[in-house]
Amino acid sequence: MKSTRTLTKISLLLSLLLAGTGLSSPVFAAPAAAPAAPWDTQLNPAAHQANAVFNDYKFRDGETLAQVKLHYATLGKAHRNAQGEIDNAILVLHWTGADSRALLSPVWTKSLYGPGRPLDSSRYYLIFADSIGHGQSSKPSDGLKAKFPNYDYGDMVDLQHKLVTETLGIKHLHAVIGMSMGGMNAWQWAVAYPSMMDGVMPVVSLPIKVSGRNLLWRRMIVDSVRADPAWHNGNYTQAPESWLQGYNILRMMIDSAPDLQRTIPDEAAADKFLANNRFTANHIDTNDVIYSLKSSFSYNPQPDLNKITTKLYALNFSDDEFNPDSLRVLETEVPKLKQGRYVVQAGTPTSPGHFTMTRPDLWANHVGEFMQWIGDKRVKRPASRAESQTSP
């Protein structure tokens, strides 16, 4: 059991960031429990895979790309109302470094998309887009490296919107649900398209600019990599040492303090932890990492939250170090919304902080509450797995 839990955690950690594309062999030998791939890369056979292509695409900063590919997957069937318009579509958005495959893995399918679950694919048309810079969509590691156009979270949402409206022909979404980066995108959707969906559910994210510790750890990694002689302006031949060390910062931030206290009791455990980190970092493309981190710097929906008119249900975790509940952001901002609710689910000695988002079995009951709130009377509310504190 212990080795299985270790393998699962390493696999989840790898799914946080981007899959590697031909980096050199790691300095450390691969740990015995290390997986061969950053996540289960097998495609869900029930999902339909496709690509949307946008030619001569212009990003928000004015840079262009001759062709932008946005990969996506769908699960379930589109239902059309009397006017012939799709009325059961739900957009599900992934976290930094993940993609549609991570959200279509068995644990997600069993917890959320199966019969009677909150996002039952026999009732809903589920859309999973690989955001720009991620998965099978266009990204720096495809070949352009540091010459790839600079994108930000606004560009991500722009392309997601083009996919939904132009490629899939959907005028109105039933819901938008996103985790971490995807949750931040969900806040942006609520601001930019307030009447285009029945509800929005951001998970482990805040509607404020990236600041404080969340900004510092990102800047520490980006700045150290750019200052590394081995960086070569993005034309490195092997992963820069600065990134291999920088991953340790990310790894400490992603987990909860109680969980690290439990799993790192001594020097031997610390050695194993750091060796696993190095192996993981060596299998992530550094250009993709830098682009994904700096793409968050312009994010700041807070000044426009008054534009949100749709129902919004925010879910965070009390042991999340990325979005500390001690900042009381949800407590302050969500009550200002016209139709806002929030839940901060209590952490446990074994819950992995921010990374609890990768365990939908631990919070699927809140998705059920959200779906019921936006009018889905037949939704089966899963049993609660943890206590929570809720807004008035």
Q: HEC string of 270-334?
A: HHHHHHHHHHHHCCCCHHHHHHHHHCCCCCCCHHHHHHCCCEEEEEEECCCCCCCHHHCHHHHHH
**pLDDT at residue number 254:** 82
For residue range 223-261, list pLDDT tens digits in order.
999 999 999 999 999 999 999 999 898 888 888 888 888
Find the radius of gyration of the CA atoms of the chain.
20
Altogether, the residues listed in the chain come to a count of 392
Residues whose CB falls within 8 Å of the CB of residue 171, separated by 6 or more in sequence, listed in order: 85, 86, 165, 196
Alpha-carbon distance 40 to 104, whole Å? 9
What is the distance between the terminal CA atoms of the chain, rounded to a whole angstrom?
A: 41
- Which of 62-66, 317-321, 374-378 is most confident? 62-66
Residue carrying structure tokens 């079995």: 361
- pLDDT tens for 167-176 read 999 999 999 9
Query: At residue 176, what is the residue type?
Result: V
Of residues 203, 219, 200, the one with CA closest to residue 211: 219
Lowest mean pLDDT among 40-44, 213-217, 285-289: 40-44
Q: What is the pLDDT of residues 89-102, one digit of tens each?
A: 999 999 998 999 99
More confident residue, 351 or 22: 351
3-state secondary structure the chain: CHHHHHHHHHHHHHHHCCCCCCCCCCCCCCCCCCCCCCCCCCCCCCCEEEEEEEEEEECCCCCEEEEEEEEEEEECCCCECCCCCECCEEEEECCCCCCHHHHCCHHHHHHHHCCCCCCCCCCCEEEEECCCCCCCCCCHHHCCHHHCCCCCHHHHHHHHHHHHHHHCCCCCEEEEEEECHHHHHHHHHHHHCCCCEEEEEEECCCCCCCCHHHHHHHHHHHHHHHHCHHHHHHCCCCCCHHHHHHHHHHHHHHCCHHHHHHHCCCHHHHHHHHHHHHHHHCCCCHHHHHHHHHCCCCCCCHHHHHHCCCEEEEEEECCCCCCCHHHCHHHHHHHHCCCEEEEEECCCCCCCHHHHHHCHHHCHHHHHHHHHHCCCCCCCCCCCCCCEEECC
Q: What is the pTM of this model?
A: 0.87
Single-letter code of the amino acid located at 72: Y
Instruction: Find, among 47, 337, 48, 311, the residue nearest to 173 by Cα.
Output: 311
pLDDT of residue 12: 44
**Is the distance from CB of 331 to CB of 392 less than 8 angstroms?**
no
Q: What is the pLDDT of residues 197-207, one digit of tens each?
A: 999 999 999 99
Higher pLDDT, 260 or 49: 49
Half-sphere exposure of 345 (CA within 13 A, CB side): 27
